Amino acid sequence: MISVMVSGCFSNDGPEVEPEETGPPEGWFITGPDGLPVEGVAIPLEFTFSDVGEDGAEPSIGVTSSGCIFFIAFEKVMRSCDHGESWEDVAGPMCAFQTNDPWGWVDPITDRVFNVQMQGLETSWICYSDDDGGTWVGNPHDSGTTPINDHIKLATGPWTSSGYGIGGQFTQAYYETAVYYCYNKLAGIFCFTSFDGGATFNTGGLIFGLATTNGGLHGAITSAPDGTVYVTPRVGTPTVIVSDDNGLSWFDRTMGEDVGTPNPRKNSEVATDTESNAYHIWTGADEGVYMSRSTDSGDTWEQTSIRISPSAVISTVFPQVDAGDPGRIAVTYLGSENASELNQSDIDGEPWDGNAHYAPANVSYYLYITYSLNALDSEPIFHTVRVSPDPVQVGSICLNSGDCRDIGGSNRNLLDFNDLHIDREGRVYVAFADGCTGECASNWNSTPEDSRSRRGSMYYLSSGPSLYESVGYLAEFI
């Protein structure tokens, strides 16, 4: 495990010396809503790294109230109950299937751990555990007559007083939370609601189409404390699909002025805070990370988006977000500061515009984490740390499975997304796949051919401000 400290606090011991105008530490950015630098004191943050010990492209992460961390990727369910010091596979024979699109989720209310594994294109196996992965129950979910069951996602959230919710039109027995399951079929995005904690999904259907226009490749499901549910489709203009009745009905809203992203907003994401304010993030047309906010449960959104990532980070991919109290958010993404490579030839021989899908061979991507403690303000401040000391990927990152390059091995090694979640203390955990390990990480002349791994990796906030204001400053684990 490795700790990385970035802080604006310095010792006061010894004679008083006039400080030099040095600005933020190396790898640290303090920016405003346009991505440009602003004056400020860096928030003290320390992140600790853990090697999960298995390949882990497209990871999901969650933490139970006991402190056990679950990292789910491929057919593995990796668990650490000692803050990432050690990991073990606890999937068990019932849920350890070979899969194409795994997904994991920890219910923040009930502690139920979900492991969803796709079996071919017709059926998923939805497993869950109520004892920190000690034992599992599993049930298949058949996608029906249309043989597509792709890009699977699951999440949980509170019941509302209408629609499928308690007091609504259904009177059957309910699990403590609603469980939502979405996937892509040829017609678009299909979402279902479970009343029995994920054992069965008998209610739901098409909420957005068509898959042929990329809408079917949706991002993660998010549910707010007030029960509002959000799903993000893959379309050219930032869009969120919303339900306020536990999935009985859906409406969609667009936001932001940014349009025309080359590979439209694959796996954009929404986070909601304790007051049900919503934050939608995506990679924009200039390849920075942008955000639009809603303070009325997704009904209306800002039409002028805010840039979260620093302007110095000229290419980003895989943005993920979570929130605590109002205005307190954390965002992670892979990014590059290789500005000198802009307008140089990309891997297709065209001028590179920052799109990771076409990045030249000498571009390096690192893991970044951005914090804001006032993200609802009219002029929010963002504190960004380049967390990884060495590249996560050298060269391009394939964003379309049907359009990848075979450059010393496919650059599809990282697949589609990473993950970020906070625990009940407001501590941030980031799961990602590291594509540049071993000699690739230690050799500063590494090439894309050296960067083809997908090692399951994690960073967590070992000390720094909690995203829950009442918790205050989080100390290191003892």
Q: Which two tokens stand for residue 35?
A: 């991505």
Residue 72 is predicted with a pLDDT of: 96
Tokens 């799109």 belong to residue: 355
Mean local confidence (pLDDT), 336-362: 92
Rounded CA separation 389/402 (Å) = 32
167: confidence class by pLDDT, cuts 50, 70, 90 = low
Question: Does residue 178 have a pLDDT over 90?
Answer: yes
Please name the residues in contact with 316: beta carbons below 8 A apart, sequence gap of 6 or more: 283, 287, 288, 289, 309, 333, 334, 335, 336, 356, 368
Mean pLDDT of 414-429: 96
Paired tokens of 443:
């050799």
Query: Average pLDDT for residues 236-258, to the nearest whole number?
Result: 91
Query: Is 315's pLDDT higher than 50?
Result: yes
pLDDT reported for residue 213: 65
At the top level of CATH, the class of 2-6+28-474 is mainly beta
Mean pLDDT of the 441-453 span: 94
Confidence of residue 268 (pLDDT cuts 50, 70, 90): very high
pLDDT digits (tens, 9 = 90+) for 185-234: 778 899 999 999 999 888 999 998 765 666 677 899 999 999 999 999 98
Q: Is the pLDDT of residue 10 over 50?
A: no
Q: Do the beta carbons of residue 79 and residue 70 sit within 8 Å?
A: yes
Q: What is the pTM of this model?
A: 0.93
Q: Is the pLDDT of residue 179 over 70?
A: yes
**pLDDT value of position 15:** 43
Is residue 400's pLDDT more than 90? no
| Residue 7 in this model has a pLDDT that exceeds 60 | no
Residue 21 has pLDDT above 90, yes or no: no
In the chain, domain spans: 2-6+28-474
